[in-house]
A and B are shown apart, each in its own frame.
Chain A
Amino acid sequence: MATMTDPPVEGFRLSQLIYDTRYRSMTIQVVAFILIMLGLVWLANNVVTNLQALGKDFDFGFLGNRAGYDINQRLVEYSNDSTHGRAAIVGILNTLLVAVLGCITATILGVFAGVLRLSKNWIVSRLMGVYVEGFRNIPLLLWILVIFAVMTEGTPQPRDFRGEDAEASMILGDSVAITNRGIYIPNLVFNRSLGGNEVDAETGAVVASQSAGDMILLLVVIIAGFVASGFIGRRATAIQEKTGVRPPGTFWMRLGAVIVPALIVLVALGATLEYPELRGFNFADGIHLRNSLIALWFALSLYTGAFIAEIVRAGIMAVSKGQTEAAFALGMRPSWTMNLVILPQALRVIIPPLISQFLNLTKNSSLAIAVGYMDVRSTLGGITINQTGRELEGMLLLGLFYLITSLIISGAMNIYNNSVKLQER
């Protein structure tokens, strides 16, 4: 009679937590978790105790108080009677403005420089090499300060434009003024603005003005035009693939889809250009691109562009040389080869590091403080903190803002990356 023996039931001993590999990793993780939590509790407790010792409390109420200071560049309504919270929003928009402008120019610059650095033309490739190495290896802050100093010291003051034989004059048919306070360019204004127009009391003439609605309408129409243009293009391609003949005039139809509706809107709103004009101490009217914005924008673009150029170069070099040779064998022009064969494949390598560069540029925009550009670091993280003494709260909000912005950029770029990456089956 065969007896079945049960496998021996081992009792669980405490020492197994250390010596048994099945449990050891768990033990280590639990211990580490407890230690980290204790560390965090200690830090939080330390903060609370020290704040108490300093006689301070933890309160975000200051965001609702009157700010009392002025901000020169504001994309939304703001005056010194507004709240600290609104000042923070003005700063956030200024940060986003310079980040978006910077990302666009840096990408364009980077792609051009990266492609040209691989050029067979010795001078072109070396020039790009000098650009890339020059900007990559010198701190960003220096470039911001250099560009700002050149703009401030090297351009005329507004009062040099005054008088009969002025030392300086406006360029492009008296429409653009380059001064040491920034560049004044003509502004688009409307005689039949959606926000309503004022009428000059003396002459009875309509004063051209602009509301946010005008610009949004114009933007929507232009974007719709591009969508329609893309639709026409896809339809033409479909017909071409079916019949072998591309419908005639497709190019003009696509162009018209973008331009005609925009023109209609401009005429309907009675668009005119408002030229900058020297009045009092400064130029008035027109759009004022402040030196601080220009310096920050250019420096960020040039600096990040140099890094993007290297990423683009690496991406292109990652595409097998056989692809180029095959394209040439088919008789494709070098420019077509680059645009249709090499770059689409290189994108898969380029996009992931490009995300980091966009994040870097956005975060580096906080160097704005060096040239007095009123970004969120200067408003919420600078003046507000200084006037209210709420360092901890302000810095937490600032950190939260940069974190959220970075996550959004990263998320959006990852969606794009998923759409261009190699589809494996």
Chain B
Amino acid sequence: MKKSVFLGTLAASALIAGAASAQTLAEVQERGSLNCGVTTGLTGFAAPNAEGEWEGFDVGVCRAVAAAVLGDATAVEFVPTTGQTRFTALASGEVDMLARNTTWTFSRDVDLAFEFTGVNYYDGQGFMVPRELGVSSALELDGATVCIQTGTTTELNLADFFASNNMSYEPVPIETNAEAQQQYLAGACDVYTTDASGLAATRATFEDPSAHVVLPEIVSKEPLGPLVRHGDHEWGDIVRWTLNALITAEELGVTSANVGEIGGTTENPEIRRLLGTEGELGAMLGLEADWAANAIAAVGNYGELFEGNIGESTPIGLARGLNAQWTDGGLLYSPPFR
């Protein structure tokens, strides 16, 4: 009798522990900071700068969420994760969200029980080779040695690409982008393959970027976006709509410079709803009315974030391409704020 009471108590406490995972928002607010999983270092997307502060495109998403939830874009603990550790870190609750060049796939969304909250970069897998090899197409890579980060979708795409083109290759499995870069530069592999944005970011850090070419073939779709755990829909909504707010802000012309006054002066009702000067959108999320304004003020709108970290004026030099607004022929399309 006593034993069953004891076990019952245990089971109940375990259930409470389980249910607690559905209150990420309360946890973050109580803790006063957001735990955000990022890469161990990919210039332009997420890397510590000379002062040791994390900066980059993915880091911007973390900061925007922190600004929306806590009103403070600096209240973020960045947790560096590798391709192999990222999902465990998220599933175990070590981080509240991942913003880390992670491809949205069916099995990750459904089987690994994560929730992708949107796409912040539409990417595809590419190949980089030294110019002196004289290779101009990925179809000439038969027999090559390829450096690849393990546990990624690129690893699977690579196998499929070579198999479907009846070519062979020698994979060199590597844990992080930094190691891959070092092996590639030492010539331990002929080819480095990862998402095209990652290749551009890696090449930008080389001593002589022009000595390396990114081959024209893009062999996969890699929609990269932030993700959270299944089962906490309120938290998922917050991350999703923070990203949407940045995208909508660009579409509507709201920038970090004018976000302060435009909410009060504009006649556009969608901007007014977005910035919280009209309607109850913030309260529906369980946040302050100015949540989106805070996020935009902290990191700028999507376009500013892009241009500041990975755009054509930066060493990484990525064109907007697919990542332009839908009004400019790109794929960025945020559902309306109403």
* Residues of A that sit less than 8 Å from B by CB: 38, 41-42, 45-46, 49-50, 52-56, 68-72, 79-81, 152-153, 157, 159, 180-181, 279-282, 284, 291, 369-370, 372, 374, 378, 382-383, 385-389, 391
Contact = CB atoms under 8 A, between A and B. Distances in A.
B283 interface: no
Interface stretch (B16-24, B205-213, B253-261): B16-24
23 contacts: A49-B11, A50-B17, A54-B21, A54-B113, A55-B113, A55-B231, A69-B159, A72-B172, A157-B187, A159-B187, A181-B172, A181-B188, A181-B189, A280-B144, A281-B143, A372-B174, A378-B150, A382-B84, A387-B107, A387-B151, A389-B112, A389-B113, A391-B88
Interface in B156-198: 156, 158-160, 163, 169-175, 183, 186-190
Interface string B215-241: 000000000000001110000000000
Interface size classification for chain B: 35 or more
Given A54-B113, A55-B113, A70 B151 contact: no
B15 interface: yes
A45 B188 contact: no
B55 interface: no
B160 A70 contact: no
Interface of B: 6-7, 10-11, 14-15, 17-19, 21, 83-84, 87-88, 91, 107-108, 111-113, 133, 141-145, 150-151, 155-156, 158-160, 163, 169-175, 183, 186-190, 229-231
Contacts of A281: 133, 141, 143-145, 190
A383 B144 contact: no
Nearest to A79: B163
Given A81-B163, A372-B175, 14 more contacts: A46-B17, A53-B231, A79-B163, A180-B188, A279-B143, A281-B190, A282-B145, A282-B190, A372-B150, A385-B84, A389-B107, A389-B113, A391-B88, A391-B91
Contacts of A382: 84, 150-151
Contacts of B171: 69-72
A331 to B, nearest CB: 57
A141 to B, nearest CB: 13
B160 A68 contact: yes
B173 A374 contact: yes
B111 A386 contact: no
Contacts of B21: 53-54
A42 B8 CA distance: 10
